[in-house]
């Protein structure tokens, strides 16, 4: 599943490539991925000129010159490719531009391409929490936000209504590098460690963005990223750098990988 670094990269690449282009055609192969009828969707976006592309968490925001918008989420996995040829692999939608290029949308599960008219709100993105990158959140603001809650810290971080963009791939190493046990509740974590967590999130995401995202995800040019969250994630039974075996434990509806010695 693409998380903040991958979506940030995709949006920046799209902003470089498609701003100023006009949509000439669109083909929807899976109507459940859009929020209105196919005919209405096509009529709404054809002849629209791209004004800006940005992101928030796991969502790509495309704004037209008319100030109508497209909200795109790759769901549980997928890719968004900018190319001159229709990819051979299965895809759910194609959008064509006046320069001969197209965007192909491929979703594994639960992907969305939603059209929203100028002035209207989008019920899914309207509920998103802070984007620690796009919103330039300070450490003080981060600490204030976290300390206002009392539940599981890991659950808080994964809840997109609190912080947009953190998912199951990055969370394990974010907690490991912050020396925080994934079983801890927020009141049990010191201010010092929460401050460390803020620094780690920024540095980890900056590193991943500079390497075009996770090693198994694709950018719009069909190129894989170079970043690997490889400290404890998915390494049950292997040795941590300290020599302790990495454990896997159930935390809510997800599993966590952690070092019992480093993350007390």
Where do the structural domains in the chain lie, given as residue ranges? Answer: 4-127, 139-258
Buried b (16+ CB within 10 A) or exposed e, 135-159: eebeeeebeebbeeeeebbbbbbbe
| Domain at 139-258, CATH class | mainly alpha
Short-list 178, 202, 200, 199, CA closest to 189: 178
CA dihedral 34, 39, 41, 44 (to 10 degrees): 180
Q: Which residue has the tokens 């894989």?
A: 224
Task: Judge whether 170 and 3 are in contact, CB under 8 Å.
Answer: yes
pLDDT band at residue 229 using 50, 70 and 90 as cut-offs: confident
CA distance 201 to 153: 14
Four-way CATH pick for 4-127: 3.40.50.10190, 3.40.50.620, 2.40.50.1070, 3.20.190.10: 3.20.190.10
Stronger pLDDT, 90 or 23, i.e. the higher one: 23
Rounded to two decimals, what is the model's pTM?
0.95
Q: Which residue has the tokens 């300070």?
A: 138
Mean pLDDT of 250-261: 92
Mean pLDDT of 194-216: 96
Mean pLDDT of 185-210: 97
Both tokens of 166, joined, read 């953190």
- Taking only the tens place, the pLDDT of each residue in 103-157 is 999 988 789 999 999 999 999 999 999 999 899 999 999 999 999 999 999 999 9
Question: Residue 34: what pLDDT?
Answer: 95
The one-character DSSP state at 224 is B
CA gyration radius for the chain?
Answer: 20
Mean pLDDT of 224-253: 93
How confident is the prediction for the chain on average, in pLDDT? 95
> In sequence order, what are the beta bridge partners of 69?
63, 116
CA distance 231 to 113: 34
CB-count burial class (<10 Å; 0-12, 13-18, 19+) for 49: middle
Question: Residue 253: what pLDDT?
Answer: 82
């Amino acid at each position: 599943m693409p998380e903040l670094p991958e979506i940030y990269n995709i949006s920046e690449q799209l902003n470089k490539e498609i701003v100023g282009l006009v949509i000439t055609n669109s083909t929807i192969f899976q109507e459940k991925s859009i929020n209105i009828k196919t005919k209405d969707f096509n009529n709404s976006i054809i002849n629209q000129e791209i004004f800006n592309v940005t992101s928030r968490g796991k969502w790509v925001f495309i704004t037209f010159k008319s100030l109508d918008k497209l909200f795109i989420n790759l769901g549980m996995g997928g890719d968004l490719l900018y190319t001159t040829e229709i990819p051979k692999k299965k895809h759910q939608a194609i959008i064509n531009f006046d320069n001969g290029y197209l965007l192909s949308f491929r979703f594994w599960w639960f992907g969305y391409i939603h059209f929203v008219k100028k002035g209207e709100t989008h019920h899914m993105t309207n509920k998103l929490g802070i984007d620690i990158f796009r919103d330039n959140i300070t450490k003080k603001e981060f600490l204030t936000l976290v300390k206002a809650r009392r539940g599981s810290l890991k659950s808080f971080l994964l809840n997109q209504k609190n912080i947009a963009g953190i998912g199951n791939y990055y969370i394990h190493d974010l907690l490991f590098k912050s020396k925080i046990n994934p079983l801890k509740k927020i009141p049990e974590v010191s201010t010092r460690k929460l401050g460390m967590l803020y620094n780690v999130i920024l540095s980890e995401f900056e590193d991943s963005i500079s390497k075009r995202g996770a090693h198994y995800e694709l950018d719009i040019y069909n190129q894989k990223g170079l970043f690997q969250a490889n400290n404890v994630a998915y390494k049950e039974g292997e040795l941590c750098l300290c020599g302790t075996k990495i454990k896997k434990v159930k935390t809510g509806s997800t599993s966590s990988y952690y070092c019992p010695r480093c993350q007390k």
